[in-house]
Amino acid sequence: MTSVPDLNTCAGPGCTQEFRRLGDGKLYAFTVDEPEKWGLPPHLKQKVVWLCSQCSASLYVRLDRRRFRVQVVHRHAGAQAA
Ligand SMILES: [Zn+2]
């Protein structure tokens, strides 16, 4: 995996859904201290990742802050955080 998912398309593996409007799926906005390491412009201290509604039902997004990578993680059935 070479490219970091961005807001234009769903971050789900193999998913090509395009982001069209707010309210679809789930939008994640992470504050980052070193935007350039995330491939962002220096002034943009926010990494935004989108999952389409289909993917967000079974996946969620978190950041690997040591490797500066977005991770898409499977939700485990029955392991919902209280
Ligand atoms: Zn998707």
Cα torsion through 34, 36, 41, 45, rounded to 10? -20
Tokens encoding 63: 């950041």
By C-alpha distance, which of 2, 3, 73, 6 is closest to 44?
A: 6
Beta-carbon-side half-sphere exposure of residue 38 (alpha carbons within 13 Å): 25
Q: Distance from the CA of 21 to the center of ligand 1, in angstroms?
A: 14
Q: Distance from the CA of 64 to the center of ligand 1, in angstroms?
A: 20
* Between 42 and 1, the higher pLDDT residue: 42
Residue 75 pLDDT grade (very low, low, confident, very high; cuts 50, 70, 90)? confident
CA dihedral for 68, 1, 62, 45, sign (positive or negative): positive
pLDDT at 6 over 70: no
Average pLDDT over residues 12-37: 92
Q: Distance from the CA of 65 to the center of ligand 1, in angstroms?
A: 23
Q: Tell me, what's the pLDDT at 3?
A: 47
Q: Distance from the CA of 47 to the center of ligand 1, in angstroms?
A: 18
- Tokens 């995330």 -> residue: 38
Gap between the Cα atoms of 5 and 49, Å rounded? 7
Q: Distance from the CA of 41 to the center of ligand 1, in angstroms?
A: 25
Tokens encoding 61: 């997004």
pLDDT digits (tens, 9 = 90+) for 29-70: 999 999 999 999 999 999 999 999 999 999 999 999 999 999
Q: Tell me, what's the pLDDT at 23?
A: 82
